[in-house]
């Protein structure tokens, strides 16, 4: 999503400033057509359109400007505290639901690096729709993310959630060892060099949500290595690990799963055809 040239930004005060702005005026101010439509819809009947357009033209992600965004069946609050949930992560949720098939009627789920709460809360909501009473531990190192995830849980009436602050499995109570039917994670997996080349708008999201140190000779792989390597100690027998990884990390993720003695290791592409998701089980 490109930033607009200053000349277009300077046009803004003359084209509107009122709730009655038209899509044509917003486009003339520098917004893309569909963004103009989304902003008009999001701010219909409420104040703040002008400030929202200014923020967007200044390079803020559209999702932060609107303040909420759909993810699977949920409309999640999103802001600068957490990563904007991605379409490929919606696919991870689908894989996770499939991985739970045949498990107990009340599965216990761990969402590592929960951010806005997207993965874990979507799972709770969708399992609930199938009369499956799951429980969730949503863990993040960032108190800001946990605050946002709490808001999203409240917003959707999802209360079977324990929010835990901590660094990966170190944050968990030892009594939970070998108890989870499902561990899901979309950890940071962008290498530092790759991060520098990302679009400006992506770099408005928290760097700590995106960038991981290198490991096993693979850029950005350290957090995935920690999540995959630690999983057997926290999964129940037969429980599944479902993780998202970078396009060039499929083999490293598979190797890490096998080294952790996980079984039934499968990898999947996302809808764009990029290697993206690993599923594996504790024997």
Under the binding rule (CB under 6 A), the answer on residue 140 touching ligand SAM is yes
d(CA 274, CA 282): 26
C-alpha dihedral over 85, 89, 93, 98, to 10 degrees? 180
* Minimum CB–partner distance for residue 155 and ligand SAM (Å): 16
Query: Shortest approach of ligand SAM to residue 36 CB, angstroms?
Result: 26
CA 109 to chain centre: 16
Q: Does 231 interact with ligand SAM (rule: CB under 6 A)?
A: no
Going by their DSSP bridges, the two strands 161-165 and 235-244 should be labelled as unpaired
Measured over all CA atoms, what is the biggest interatomic distance in the chain, rounded to whole angstroms?
Answer: 66
Looking at the Cβ atoms of 140 and 270, the one nearer to ligand SAM is 140
Q: Say if residues 91 and 276 touch (Cβ distance below 8 Å).
A: yes
Please pick, from the candidates 30, 107, 188, 191, the single residue that binds ligand SAM as defined by CB under 6 A. Answer: 188
SS3 47: coil
108: contact with ligand SAM by CB under 6 A = no
Per-residue binding string, ligand SAM, 55-94, x by CB under 6 A, is: ---------------------------xx-x---x-----
Does 252 sit near ligand SAM (CB under 6 A)? no
Helix, strand, coil % (nearest 5) of the chain? 45, 20, 35
Binding stretches for ligand SAM (CB under 6 A): 82-83, 85, 89, 113-116, 118-119, 140-142, 145, 167-168, 186-188, 208-209, 223
């Amino acid at each position: 999503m490109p930033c607009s040239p200053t000349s277009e930004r300077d046009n803004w005060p003359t084209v509107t400033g009122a709730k009655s702005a038209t899509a044509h005026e917003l486009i003339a101010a520098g917004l893309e057509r569909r963004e103009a439509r989304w902003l008009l819809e999001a701010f219909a009947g409420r104040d703040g359109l002008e400030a929202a357009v200014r923020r967007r033209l200044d390079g803020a992600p559209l999702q932060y400007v609107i303040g909420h965004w759909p993810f699977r069946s949920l409309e999640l609050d999103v802001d600068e505290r957490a990563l904007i949930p991605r379409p490929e992560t919606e696919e991870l949720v689908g894989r996770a639901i499939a991985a739970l098939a045949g498990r107990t009627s009340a599965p216990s789920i761990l969402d590592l690096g929960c951010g806005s709460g997207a993965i874990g809360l979507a799972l709770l909501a969708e399992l609930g729709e199938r009369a499956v009473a799951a429980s969730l531990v949503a863990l993040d190192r960032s108190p800001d993310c946990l605050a946002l995830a709490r808001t999203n849980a409240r917003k959707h009436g999802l209360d079977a959630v324990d929010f835990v602050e901590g660094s990966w499995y170190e944050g968990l109570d030892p009594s939970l060892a070998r108890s989870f039917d499902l561990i899901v994670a979309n950890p940071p997996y962008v290498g530092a060099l790759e991060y520098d080349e990302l679009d400006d708008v992506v770099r408005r999201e928290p760097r700590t949500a995106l960038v991981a140190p290198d490991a096993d000779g693979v850029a950005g792989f350290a957090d995935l290595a920690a999540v995959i390597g630690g999983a057997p100690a926290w999964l129940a027998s037969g429980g599944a690990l479902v993780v998202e990884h970078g396009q060039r990390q499929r083999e490293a993720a598979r190797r890490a799963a096998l080294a952790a003695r996980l079984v039934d290791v499968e990898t999947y592409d996302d809808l764009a055809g990029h290697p993206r998701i690993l599923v594996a089980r504790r024997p």
